[in-house]
Amino acid sequence: MPFAFLGLMRLSSREEREVPDAGVGGTGDKVLLTMFSDAGEPLGDALVQSVTKSESEWRKELSPAELAVTRMNGTEPSYSGRYHHKTHAGLYRCVGCGNALFRSNEQFDSGTGWPSFWMPASDRNVRINKDVSFFMERLEVVCAKCNAHLGHVFRDGPAPTGLRYCINSVALRLVG
């Protein structure tokens, strides 16, 4: 099984598509998000439609690795993602819908092999769900606009929040 997933990771290196515009493209229920410039500056709140697509529609838009993580609740292998080192500056958007999720100035090196943040760009832009898979209780982090699985949040992070948002690189796209 790990080899199959590593194969998916290799397939994800194809040319990247443009990040969707977070303010458009939805057909679902309305959701209140905080909009951000690509430089990470808040632009204010906006009521936008959530993104709902069929599995076949997501398959056409996402790489196999992006699909496995964001739509099938997968986890990329630690230290395999391009954003696990805090060397990038900018805003991290959702690979599925372009929603602003995290800013690099709130990123830290947790030593876990996944990008880690002590807070999201806006609490409006992510949702936290109870996850009881693998015989344990965790807090799953999902995109508030397209419901993409992003990772999990743990209570072992640095000040000022004490939280560690442990996020899959493949679910993110750095802009700015």
Positions marked catalytic: 166
Taken in order 87, 89, 95, 101, the sign of the CA dihedral is positive
* Strand locations in the chain (E): 30-36, 42-49, 91-94, 100-103, 107-108, 116-117, 126-131, 138-143, 149-154, 164-167, 172-175
Buried b / exposed e over 147-171, threshold 16 CB at 10 Å, is bbbbbbbbeebeeeeebbbbbbbbb
Distance of CA 100 to the CA centre of its chain: 9
Smallest CA-to-CA distance from 174 within 78, 90, 116, 99 is with 90
Cα 125 from Cα 100, distance rounded (Å)? 7
